[in-house]
C-alpha cells in the first residue's frame, strides 16, 4: 500500500467528525475541493470507500468507522507531538477545540474565546457545547470545562485545575415580586409560583445551620438553565439559578435575588486537558486567559475555593 500522507488522514477524521466536507474544510482552514481530493486519494490508496455521499448527507461506511476507531487516538497524539515541538514559534496558533456545557459555554467561555481570538490573531476556536462527557483525546479536544457534583473528578489521564464553584440562589423578576410580594423566609415561599428543572432532585439551600428544600409542585419546569433564566426574567415565578448565570441580570435589574443569604453549593468546576509532554501554546494561553477572567469575575459569590 505504500506510505500515506498524514494530511489525508486529518482530512478523513475531519469529515467523519463533522459529517460534512464543507465543515471539515472550515476546520482545516482550506477549500472544500482539497478535502474532496484528499478523501478520494485516501480511498484509492486503501481500496475501500470511506464515505457514502448524497446531495443531502455524508455518511461514514463501516470500513470508514473501523479506520477512524483504529487511527484517531494515534493521529491526535501524532498531530499534537508535531505541533508541540519546542523549536516552534511560541505565539499561540492553530485551532483550539473546547467542550463544555451550554450554560458555562454561553456565559463564561464565550467571553474568554472572544478575548482569546482578539489577543491571538493566529488562532481559531471550535467550541462544542453538550451535556455529554466526551473523550478529549479520542475526539481531538484540547480543553474542557467540567462540573463535578462531588467536588472531585474520577481518576483519569487528564490534568484537572479547579476554577470555581457552582452556587445556586433564588431569583425572580422585579415585576413578579411587585405583583406577588417578596418572600423573606422559607415560610413566606409557600404559595409562590416556582420554576424548577425537569428530573432534578429537590434543591436544598442553606443559610448558616438552617436549610430550605425547594420541593413544592412547580408552576413551570424545564430542562435547561438558560431557558429557566428567561422564564424568570419574564415573570414566571421564583426559581434557583447558578449565580454566574444570573449575575449580569441582577446588575441590570432584570432579576432580583430572593432571600440572598440562602445558597446551595452544587458542584465544583474544573478546567481539564489531556496529559502531554509539551502542552501547545494555544492551550496554555487560553488556560491562563480563562484564569485571568475568572479572577476578575468569579463563578461564585463565595469565591473559587468555597466548600
In a domain, 303, yes or no: no
Cell of 164: 470555581
The answer on 213 and 145 residing in a single domain is no
At residue 297, does pLDDT exceed 70?
yes
In a domain, 277, yes or no: yes
The answer on 62 and 45 residing in a single domain is yes
pLDDT tens sequence across 34-56? 899 999 999 988 989 999 988 77
Cell of 8: 489525508
The answer on 156 and 116 residing in a single domain is yes
Q: What share of the chain is helix, strand, coil (3-state, %, to 5)?
A: 40, 25, 35
% of the chain surpassing 90 pLDDT: 46
In a domain, 150, yes or no: yes
pTM above 0.75, yes or no: no
The answer on 173 and 235 residing in a single domain is yes
Residue 82's pLDDT is: 60
Residue 83's pLDDT is: 56
Phi/psi for 110 (5° steps) reads -60, -45
The answer on 287 and 151 residing in a single domain is yes
CATH code of 157's domain: 3.40.190.10
The answer on 280 and 131 residing in a single domain is yes
CATH code of 40's domain: 1.10.10.10
At residue 270, does pLDDT exceed 60?
yes
β-pair type (94-100, 143-148)? parallel
The answer on 276 and 135 residing in a single domain is yes
Residue span of the structural domain in which 54 resides: 6-79
Could you tell me the pLDDT band of residue 303, with boundaries at 50, 70 and 90? low
Over range 181-208, report the average pLDDT: 88
CATH code of 261's domain: 3.40.190.290
* CA distance linking residue 110 with residue 63, whole number of Å: 37
The answer on 65 and 198 residing in a single domain is no
The answer on 275 and 145 residing in a single domain is yes
pLDDT tens sequence across 65-110? 999 888 887 777 776 666 555 445 568 889 999 999 999 999 899 9
Residue 80's pLDDT is: 60
pLDDT tens sequence across 279-296? 888 999 999 999 889 888
At residue 212, does pLDDT exceed 60?
yes
Query: In total, how many domains does the chain have?
Result: 3
In a domain, 85, yes or no: no
Residues with Cβ < 8 Å from 172, sequence gap 6 or more?
A: 182, 232, 235, 237, 238, 239, 255, 256, 258
Last residue of a domain, one of 79, 113, 142: 79
Cell of 107: 456565559
Residue 260's pLDDT is: 92
The answer on 275 and 159 residing in a single domain is yes
Residue 305's pLDDT is: 46
pLDDT tens sequence across 132-146? 888 888 888 999 999
In a domain, 86, yes or no: no
Amino acid at each position: 500500500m505504500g506510505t500515506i500522507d498524514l494530511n489525508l488522514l486529518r482530512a478523513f477524521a475531519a469529515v467523519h467528525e463533522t459529517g460534512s466536507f464543507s465543515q471539515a474544510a472550515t476546520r482545516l482552514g482550506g477549500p472544500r475541493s482539497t478535502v474532496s481530493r484528499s478523501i478520494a486519494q485516501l480511498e484509492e490508496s486503501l481500496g475501500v470507500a470511506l464515505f457514502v455521499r448524497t446531495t443531502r448527507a455524508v455518511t461514514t461506511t463501516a470500513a470508514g468507522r473501523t479506520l477512524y476507531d483504529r487511527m484517531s487516538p494515534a493521529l491526535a497524539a501524532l498531530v499534537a507531538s508535531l505541533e508541540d515541538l519546542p523549536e516552534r514559534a511560541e505565539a499561540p496558533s492553530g485551532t483550539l477545540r473546547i467542550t463544555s456545557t451550554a450554560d458555562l459555554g454561553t456565559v463564561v467561555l464565550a467571553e474568554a474565546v472572544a478575548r482569546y481570538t482578539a489577543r491571538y490573531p493566529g488562532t481559531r476556536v471550535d467550541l462544542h457545547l453538550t451535556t455529554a462527557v466526551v473523550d478529549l483525546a479520542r475526539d481531538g479536544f484540547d480543553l474542557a470545562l467540567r462540573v463535578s457534583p462531588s467536588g472531585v473528578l474520577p481518576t483519569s489521564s487528564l490534568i484537572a485545575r479547579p476554577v470555581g464553584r457552582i452556587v445556586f440562589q433564588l431569583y425572580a423578576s422585579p415585576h413578579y415580586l411587585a405583583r406577588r410580594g417578596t418572600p423573606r423566609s422559607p415560610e413566606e415561599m409557600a404559595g409562590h409560583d416556582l420554576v424548577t428543572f425537569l428530573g432534578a432532585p429537590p434543591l436544598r439551600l442553606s443559610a448558616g445551620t438552617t436549610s430550605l428544600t425547594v420541593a413544592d409542585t412547580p408552576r413551570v419546569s424545564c430542562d435547561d438553565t438558560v431557558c429557566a433564566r428567561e422564564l424568570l426574567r419574564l415573570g414566571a415565578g421564583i426559581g434557583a439559578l447558578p449565580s454566574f448565570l444570573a449575575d449580569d441580570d441582577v446588575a441590570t435589574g432584570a432579576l432580583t435575588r430572593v432571600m440572598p443569604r440562602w445558597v446551595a453549593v452544587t458542584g465544583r468546576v474544573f478546567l481539564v486537558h489531556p496529559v502531554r509532554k509539551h502542552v501547545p501554546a494555544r492551550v496554555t494561553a487560553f488556560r491562563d486567559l480563562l484564569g485571568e477572567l475568572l479572577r476578575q469575575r468569579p463563578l461564585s459569590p463565595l469565591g473559587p475555593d468555597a466548600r
